[in-house]
Structure 1
Amino acid sequence: MGIHHNHSHTHTHTDLRGRNLVISILLNLVITVSQVIGGLISGSLSLLSDALHNFSDVLSLIVSYIATLLSQKEASTNKTFGYKRAEIIAAFVNAASLIVVALILIKEAFERFLNPQPIASDLVIWLSFLGIAANGFSVLLLKRDADSNMNMKSAYLHLLTDMMASVAVLIGGILMKFYQVYWIDAFLTFAIALYLIYMGYDLLKDATRVLMLFTPNTIQVRNIVDTISQIDIDSIKNVHHVHIWQLNEAEVHLEAHIDFKSDIRLSEFEAILDQIEDIMYHKYGINHVNIQPEYGKCDSKHVIVQD
């Protein structure tokens, strides 16, 4: 079964993703510089922590942008898959950086909580408005691709959490201005850090699953074996040596050995293979199938075999 893709549309959409990432990078650079200056002047830890997170956003967005460019490169004889996993690596790096930044913020929040300091809340409030506006716009730019692309989701999460952090900083600034509750600065920093860990962990886990060639959560190997076995019960004796992995968001691969009851003709195998490819694609979303036919071969007939 041939699976056709509209490459012109794919490249156009990838170019649009790249443009949105560039816009988000520039906006976050403006926010970062503004918040660093404002945090130093006001003495606000939550504003400086938000600036640190924004700077990590800039780095993560640059990583995502480079990965998006690499993913468009063609395959070659020494890179037969091209750079299709570049975006997964970017997602892993960005998710890990979310957690690292969160741990740094927790340390800083604890130190400031023990020693709260007066803060120029007016500056904190105005700069938090800037962060909400710029990050909110960036979130809208990336939201479309966040559900279907792990790399874009990692960039989206960085920006979404930063927008929420700016909201928290705004609330803290208002409380400090009107009620002089300065410990709220450290408390909100701690809350932001916990949220970063919560958001980053799931993405880190998903990216790790892909990089480690684990079977996608939506697919059960036993169901695959049973489905293939039922396609032609008169011919198929055994399905074994099964490997299922996800190359990236767009590609899921299956390879397996099929032991046939008789020495069938190649044309008969091709007919069975067409059925397998069709069912695997429409029922399980597997779009790359590699089947090794066997007859009377003495090898392990276990479903899973350690290579």
Structure 2
Amino acid sequence: MLSFIAKRIAAGLVVLCAISFITYFLLYFSSASIARNILGELASQEQVVELEAQLGLDQPLLVRFITWAGDAATGNFGVSWFTTEPVVTAITSRLPITLALVIVSIIFIAALTTALGMAAAVRRGWIDRMVQGAAVIGDAIPSFVMAIVLVTVFAIQLKFFPATSSISPDSPGSAWVASLALPVIAIVINGVAGGAQQIRSAVIKQLERDYVRTLRSRGVSETDILFKHVLRSAAPAGLTVISLQFIGMLGGVTIIEQIFALPGMGSLAVQATTMADIPLVMGVVIYSVIIVIIVNLLVDIINGWLNPKVRVS
């Protein structure tokens, strides 16, 4: 198991380095007018050239990347070129909001998809038809459309929830619940349908296996078969779906955060990208990639524990 984890960590580090260089390379072509944007149109050419030298924009790409990578390896991502706020401070003040939104959503999605998927696979009938129909509807309606409907009805018209949010990591729990309730509902409604369909298919596939018939012939109860054997065997497929949804949500909550005015990573990424604030963009990218690597590692470890064949492969 240790060698299995070490290989996954090594692969994650390679991905992190590759994405870092590719992102920095792409941002290199957008840095021509950054000094002018910071100083304004009234700044002289001499002032622009001086600021470019201070920011290192006059250096070759490889030199700039090596300098940035060396600092980033020690945890120093620099400061925002436009606000002078340390990149780590800007990210850590917003990351908890995005993570809370995504983690709470994925917990509800995992619980509901497992329950609905297993019910559809075992009971069939109207539950099965409902899950399959909901999967089609869920794929057809984006989460941001559902978010707009929810904020219009429950926040603007009924005023059950705040239409906008200004929560921070030190806000009280009641403010977090009120601010995240509608965004979580919008994400869960969109994510449950497709996930339940995947769980349904995985459970049906396991129920058709020979070992299930053998367990039934030995008098093992249906409850034990479902929860001790079938669910464990179907779990890797479900975990893969959940992990993909988590990763997709991490990048897709940008629109949700904009709709509900949540001060999370999405709004920070939009702001940094619009201004071509390279240190801030790189910080957002690196933090996001690290989270994705950690999630994939945890899923691989759990899958390896559930199915030893995964560790061999």
TM-score, normalization: structure 1?
0.29
Query: Which structure would you say has the larger Rg?
Result: 1
**Structure with the bigger percentage of strand:** 1
**Structure with the bigger percentage of helix:** 2
TM-score, normalization: structure 2?
0.28
